[in-house]
């Protein structure tokens, strides 16, 4: 610590070093070397603290993003629903009507089963895909911010993933509300049959758990893509193709069951390697209350799927976060 | 924590940028884990070494692209240094660009909130400061209008108001005084003084050497990424001013084209015409030749001349002081002062007991006039330019010998004879 030198000139306007100045905590040395692996790993548990310290940044960014997206639009807050409903309509027509991918042997009460199956799939898939694709672009898109302001950049992908999860929850909420309303209508004798035999109930309590693991998974993948995109702009071009492909190999619009798609059995084991299959399976277990049985015939059990997906999510998150942290310091030079 | 006397410590800082000719090279480099290097290194900054005491301020000056902004970026933690290390002791706020992080579609008020949380503050803290920020920015009803509708000056006000309201221990500002009206600049300057008083550390970059001299204790002059001068603000800005040799050389060349230089005395001149043989600057009354002087120094300029036919062509000597921007700072002449040069040759001395010129580099043209001071027989330059450094912060071309009387008891002119308020007509 250098001693105060008596010969140092004191600026007359500063009034000299005041005794009432609050003591400084010496800051950490900033060095050129990239932080080592051990150091990065040590930072990992710090993420919740970072998020907490910047909770208002995260919160206001998410709110702002949601508001900006719908401000000045005619449909406003209904927009989060338009996309899944539209996609659902198109795919329902193609798969269920034209290609006749339908669940056999379902009771008349469960007629809308295929539609509901698809709707859940499309809402959750959109939540995931939109989050990943936007998170991948978010660092480059906010280059100007990164070059001019000093803040934890890892929060940017987190924000967009949270936004996509929030819009997804709009879809989920409306889905549950519609099911409840139709059942209430049946009970009150307004409708003859409800859309769905059973209302989602206690299983909905799993939703926070699902959201957390889905967040980890999406965020982790988003961090990897965002980092790569900074250094190689081809990344997201490629990623959007891959995500589209991924959607088709995931049972969003079709049922991974021999009874629905004859001849699929040899591939089922391979298909089960896809973490998203497990995620959709979990959501369907929760939202469709395991009805109709055929939709869940031969599917992994809820807890099994949850376990597989949570493991993937945790691993992807750790890898993605470390990868991001390692390169973070160079972002301002590259964007 | 006594003993931390420095707000900012930078040790041998350097910043290199990697330039890749194509993305392909980057992929090759990444794929081979760096064994095949695909980039070229460009050092934007090197060997920057300084310590800035708490409560003091440092100004950065230098030409465009010299590395000032890179230095501020490294210091504010936006980008990592490539060599050396740095430490900031205390909370930092940086204002590197006006309205960085502003969302144009949102109102000024929302942007205060967004900008604040961006810098790591909670909404509660920002709500508490909201009034102060709005007061300082003085945007009136515009505070609730979208930032899109703001002028750049208004954006500056808001940005500056936010940056200082969060009350950092270290404030880093890049060229923000460039915008804003005089009134707002004054407010900013007041606030910066207030900052210094409270032991905060300020770093800022400006093209206005005046601002740096006035606001900063220390300065660093960045040239091609190196610190060309570092230390007392007055010293550094003087150095920087004198450096503009490039411009001066251009000016001298232009002048040379018109006027043969003093080194070329006697070249190609008919022998029968008066001419300047040599001219040099000395400290007054000594034989110490000098071209680096301070304001207030005593100097003399000796001019050696020749006049083959003094009877037919009486001559006068004129000496001018021409600043690098071609402003004529002063000009004296024997004909003006009624002096007379005698003989066929001689050495005439111009004595300046107290040089009034302020900082700058001055060319000194020497002219031999005819009797009336109209026709010029010979024009030349003192071979070296006079480099003047200021010891004070006075502004302008020359130092005015002055004093202040703070208790003047003179009434306002016009009110002295007929006190207006006693006139009934004036009351109505």
Mean pLDDT of chain A: 83
Of A11, A30, A144, which has the smallest distance from its Cβ to B85's Cβ? A30
Residue A263: pLDDT above 80? yes
Residue A218: pLDDT above 90? yes
Name the H helices within B52-107: 68-75
Question: Which B residues, 361 through 400, put their C-beta within 8 Å of a C-beta on chain A?
Answer: none
| Separation of alpha carbons A289 and A122, rounded Å | 18
The pLDDT tens digits for A290-304 are 677 777 777 888 999
Mean pLDDT of chain B: 82
Cα angle A244, A248, A253; round to 5: 125
Nearest CA in chain B to A15: B197
Bond from prior residue into B312 cis (ω within 30 degrees of 0): no
pLDDT band at A43 (very low <50, low <70, confident <90, very high): confident
**What is the nearest CA distance from A176 to chain B, expressed in angstroms?**
33
Contact A13 B88 (CB under 8 A): no
Contact B117 A13 (CB under 8 A): no
Nearest CA in chain A to B5: A4
Of A32, A71, A329, which has the smallest distance from its Cβ to B83's Cβ? A32
**What is the nearest CA distance from B189 to chain A, expressed in angstroms?**
12
Cα angle B169, B174, B178; round to 5: 125
ipTM computed for the complex:
0.73
How long a stretch of residues is chain B? 428
Residues of A in contact with B5 (CB under 8 A): 1-2, 4, 17
| Structure confidence at residue A7 (pLDDT) | 36
| Structure confidence at residue A205 (pLDDT) | 92
How much is the average pLDDT of A168-177?
88
Of B14, B27, B120, which has the smallest distance from its Cβ to A54's Cβ? B120
**What backbone torsions phi and psi does residue A22 show, to the nearest 5 degrees?**
-65, 140
How much is the average pLDDT of A6-32?
55
Contact A68 B103 (CB under 8 A): yes
Tell me if chain A has a CB within 8 Å of the CB of B100: yes
| Structure confidence at residue A11 (pLDDT) | 41
**Structural contact between residues B67 and B103, judged by C-beta atoms closer than 8 angstroms:** no
Contact A18 B76 (CB under 8 A): no
| Structure confidence at residue A294 (pLDDT) | 74
Residue B72: pLDDT above 50? yes
Contact B81 A21 (CB under 8 A): no
Contact A144 B82 (CB under 8 A): no
Tell me if chain B has a CB within 8 Å of the CB of A7: no
| Separation of alpha carbons B314 and B372, rounded Å | 9
3-state secondary structure of A29: strand
Nearest CA in chain A to B214: A13
Query: What is the CATH T-level fold of the domain B245-389, as seen in this structure?
Result: Coagulation Factor XIII; Chain A, domain 1 (2.70.50)
**What is the nearest CA distance from A40 to chain B, expressed in angstroms?**
16
**What is the nearest CA distance from A12 to chain B, expressed in angstroms?**
10
How much is the average pLDDT of A250-267?
85
Nearest CA in chain A to B173: A148
Residues of B in contact with A68 (CB under 8 A): 103, 105
Question: Which A residues, 177 through 196, put their C-beta within 8 Å of a C-beta on chain B?
Answer: none
| Structure confidence at residue B1 (pLDDT) | 43
The pLDDT tens digits for A278-293 are 999 999 999 987 677 7
For the ranges A12-21, A214-223, B412-421, the one whose mean pLDDT is highest: A214-223
Of A55, A149, A232, which has the smallest distance from its Cβ to B118's Cβ? A149
Tell me if chain B has a CB within 8 Å of the CB of A55: yes
The pLDDT tens digits for B42-61 are 899 999 999 988 888 899 98
Residue B268: pLDDT above 90? no
The token pair that represents A164 in the structure block = 């996509």
Number of H helices, E strands in chain B: 10, 19
How much is the average pLDDT of A24-34?
76
Share of chain A above pLDDT 70, in %: 90
Q: How many CB atoms lie within 10 A of CB B414?
A: 8
Residue A125: pLDDT above 90? yes
pLDDT band at B137 (very low <50, low <70, confident <90, very high): confident
| Structure confidence at residue B241 (pLDDT) | 77
Name the H helices within B138-181: 152-165
The pLDDT tens digits for B109-119 are 888 888 888 87
**What is the nearest CA distance from B41 to chain A, expressed in angstroms?**
13
Contact A231 B26 (CB under 8 A): yes
Q: What's the CATH architecture for B52-71+87-243? A: 3-Layer(aba) Sandwich (3.40)
3-state secondary structure of B80: coil
Residues of A in contact with B67 (CB under 8 A): none
Of A9, A28, A56, which has the smallest distance from its Cβ to B123's Cβ? A56
Contact A26 B23 (CB under 8 A): no
pLDDT band at A133 (very low <50, low <70, confident <90, very high): very high
The pLDDT tens digits for B335-357 are 888 888 888 889 999 999 999 99
Higher pLDDT, B179 or B77: B77
Contact B4 A23 (CB under 8 A): yes
Residue A4: pLDDT above 50? no
| Structure confidence at residue A3 (pLDDT) | 38
| Separation of alpha carbons B90 and A27, rounded Å | 7
* Residues with Cβ within 8 Å of residue B194, at least 6 apart in sequence: none
pLDDT band at A12 (very low <50, low <70, confident <90, very high): very low
The Cβ-side half-sphere exposure at B24, using a 13 Å CA radius, reads 2
| Structure confidence at residue B156 (pLDDT) | 82
3-state secondary structure of A20: coil
| Structure confidence at residue B251 (pLDDT) | 57
**What is the nearest CA distance from A148 to chain B, expressed in angstroms?**
6
How much is the average pLDDT of B390-401?
86
Question: Which B residues, 38 through 97, put their C-beta within 8 Å of a C-beta on chain A?
Answer: 51, 53-56, 73, 76-90, 92, 94, 96-97
How much is the average pLDDT of B67-80?
89
Q: Are strands B170-174 and B201-205 parallel, antiparallel or unpaired?
A: parallel
| Separation of alpha carbons B166 and B120, rounded Å | 10
pLDDT band at B219 (very low <50, low <70, confident <90, very high): very high
Q: Do domains B52-71+87-243 and B245-389 have the same CATH topology?
A: no
| Separation of alpha carbons B403 and B54, rounded Å | 33
| Separation of alpha carbons B327 and A119, rounded Å | 79
Q: How far apart are the first and last CA of chain B?
A: 67
3-state secondary structure of B164: helix
Nearest CA in chain A to B127: A56
**What is the nearest CA distance from A158 to chain B, expressed in angstroms?**
14
Tell me if chain B has a CB within 8 Å of the CB of A19: no
| Structure confidence at residue B418 (pLDDT) | 53
Residue B428: pLDDT above 50? no
How much is the average pLDDT of A96-103?
74
Residue B267: pLDDT above 50? no
3-state secondary structure of B179: coil
Ranking B11-25, B192-206, B217-231, B237-251 by mean pLDDT, the lowest is B237-251
Residue B95: pLDDT above 70? yes
How much is the average pLDDT of B188-213?
82
The token pair that represents B198 in the structure block = 């409270």
Q: Is A139 exposed, middle or buried (0-12, 13-18, 19+ CB in 10 A)?
A: buried
Residues of B in contact with A147 (CB under 8 A): 73, 78
| Structure confidence at residue A14 (pLDDT) | 40
pLDDT band at A21 (very low <50, low <70, confident <90, very high): low
Chain A and chain B share a number of CB contacts under 8 A equal to 149
Helix axes A302-328, A207-231, angle to 10 degrees: 30
Share of chain A above pLDDT 90, in %: 34
Residue B252: pLDDT above 70? no
pLDDT band at A219 (very low <50, low <70, confident <90, very high): very high
Domain residue ranges in chain B: 52-71+87-243, 245-389
Q: Where are the beta strands (DSSP E) in B141-217?
A: 170-174, 201-205
| Structure confidence at residue B264 (pLDDT) | 41
Indicate which of A11, A49, A67 best probes the interface with B, i.e. most B CBs within 10 Å of its own CB: A11
Question: Which A residues, 62 through 91, put their C-beta within 8 Å of a C-beta on chain B?
Answer: 64, 68, 71
Of B56, B89, B97, which has the smallest distance from its Cβ to A26's Cβ? B89
Contact B1 A26 (CB under 8 A): yes
Question: Which B residues, 229 through 288, put their C-beta within 8 Å of a C-beta on chain A?
Answer: 232
**Structural contact between residues A64 and B114, judged by C-beta atoms closer than 8 angstroms:** yes
Higher pLDDT, A104 or A243: A243
Contact A2 B51 (CB under 8 A): yes
Nearest CA in chain B to A14: B197
| Structure confidence at residue B256 (pLDDT) | 54
The token pair that represents A25 in the structure block = 């905590």
Predicted TM-score (pTM) of this structure: 0.73
The pLDDT tens digits for A237-255 are 999 999 999 999 999 888 8
In order, the DSSP letters of A53-114 are: HTHHHHHHHHHHHHHHHHTT-SSGGGHHHHHHHHHHHHHIIIIIIIS----SS--GGGTTHH
pLDDT band at B195 (very low <50, low <70, confident <90, very high): confident
**Structural contact between residues B82 and B47, judged by C-beta atoms closer than 8 angstroms:** no
| Structure confidence at residue B379 (pLDDT) | 83
């Amino acid at each position: 610590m250098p001693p105060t030198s008596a010969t140092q000139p004191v600026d007359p306007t500063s009034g000299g070093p005041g005794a009432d100045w609050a003591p400084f905590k010496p800051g950490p040395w900033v060095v050129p070397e990239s932080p080592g692996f051990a150091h990065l790993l040590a930072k990992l548990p710090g993420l919740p603290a970072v998020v907490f310290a910047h909770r208002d940044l995260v919160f206001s960014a998410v709110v702002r993003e949601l508001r900006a997206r719908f401000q000045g639009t005619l449909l406003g807050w209904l927009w989060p629903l338009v996309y899944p409903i539209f996609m659902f309509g198109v795919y329902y027509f193609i798969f269920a009507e034209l290609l006749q991918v339908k669940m056999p042997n379902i009771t008349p009460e469960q007629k809308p089963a295929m539609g509901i199956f698809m709707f859940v799939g499309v809402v959750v898939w959109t939540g995931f895909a939109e989050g990943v694709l936007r998170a991948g672009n978010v660092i480059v898109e906010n280059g100007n911010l990164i070059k001019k302001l000093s803040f934890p950049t890892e929060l940017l992908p987190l924000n967009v993933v949270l936004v996509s999860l929030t819009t997804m929850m709009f879809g989920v909420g409306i889905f549950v509300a519609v099911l409840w309303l139709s059942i209430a209508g049946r009970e009150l004798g307004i409708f003859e049959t409800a859309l769905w035999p059973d209302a989602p109930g206690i299983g909905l309590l799993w939703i926070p758990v699902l959201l957390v693991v889905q967040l980890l998974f999406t965020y982790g993948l988003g961090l990897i893509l965002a980092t790569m995109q900074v250094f190689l702009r081809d990344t997201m071009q490629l990623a959007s193709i891959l995500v589209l492909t991924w959607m088709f190999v995931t049972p969003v619009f079709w049922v991974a069951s021999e009874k629905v798609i004859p001849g699929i059995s040899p591939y089922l084991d391979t298909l089960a390697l896809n973490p998203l299959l497990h995620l959709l399976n979990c959501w369907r277990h929760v939202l469709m209350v395991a009805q109709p049985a055929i939709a869940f015939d031969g599917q992994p059990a809820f807890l099994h799927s949850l376990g597989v997906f949570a493991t993937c999510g945790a691993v992807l998150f750790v890898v993605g976060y470390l990868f991001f942290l390692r390169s973070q310091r160079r972002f301002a030079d590259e964007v | 924590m006594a003993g931390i006397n420095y707000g900012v410590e930078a040790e041998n800082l350097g910043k290199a940028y990697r330039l890749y000719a194509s993305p392909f090279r980057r992929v090759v480099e990444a794929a081979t884990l760096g064994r095949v290097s695909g980039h070229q290194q460009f050092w934007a900054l090197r060997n920057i070494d300084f310590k800035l005491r708490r409560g003091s301020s440092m100004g950065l000056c230098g030409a465009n692209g010299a590395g000032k902004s890179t230095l501020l970026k490294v210091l504010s933690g936006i980008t990592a240094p490539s060599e050396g290390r740095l430490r900031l002791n205390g909370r930092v706020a940086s204002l590197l660009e006006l309205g960085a992080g502003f969302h144009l579609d949102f109102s000024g008020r929302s942007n205060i909130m967004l900008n604040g949380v961006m810098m790591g503050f909670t909404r509660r803290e920002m709500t508490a400061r909201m009034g102060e920020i709005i007061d300082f920015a003085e945007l009136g009803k515009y505070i609730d209008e979208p930032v899109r509708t703001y002028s750049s000056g208004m954006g500056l006000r808001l940005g500056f108001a936010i940056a200082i309201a969060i009350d950092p221990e270290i404030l880093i500002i890049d060229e923000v005084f460039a915008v804003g009206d005089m009134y707002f600049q004054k407010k900013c300057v007041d606030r910066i003084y207030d900052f210094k008083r409270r032991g905060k550390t300020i770093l800022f970059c400006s093209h206005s050497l005046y601002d740096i001299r006035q606001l900063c204790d220390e300065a660093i002059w960045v040239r091609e990424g190196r610190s060309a001068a570092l230390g007392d603000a007055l010293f550094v800005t003087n150095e920087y001013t004198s450096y503009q040799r490039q411009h001066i050389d251009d000016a001298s060349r232009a002048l040379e084209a018109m006027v043969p230089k003093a080194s070329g005395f006697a070249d190609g001149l008919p022998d029968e015409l008066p001419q300047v043989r040599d001219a040099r600057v000395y400290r007054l009354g000594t034989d110490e030749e000098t071209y680096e002087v301070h304001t207030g120094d005593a100097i003399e300029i000796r001019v050696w001349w020749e006049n083959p036919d003094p009877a037919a062509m009486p001559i006068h000597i004129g000496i001018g002081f021409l600043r690098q921007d071609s402003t004529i700072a002063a000009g004296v002449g024997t004909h003006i002062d009624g002096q007379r040069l005698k003989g066929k040759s001689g050495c005439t001395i111009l004595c300046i007991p107290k040089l009034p010129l302020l900082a700058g580099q001055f060319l000194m043209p020497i002219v031999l006039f005819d009797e009336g001071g109209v026709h010029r027989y010979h024009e030349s330059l003192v071979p070296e330019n006079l480099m003047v450094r200021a010891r004070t912060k006075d502004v302008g071309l020359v130092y005015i010998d002055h004093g202040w009387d703070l208790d003047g008891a003179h009434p306002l002119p016009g009110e002295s004879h007929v006190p207006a308020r006693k006139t009934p007509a004036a009351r109505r």
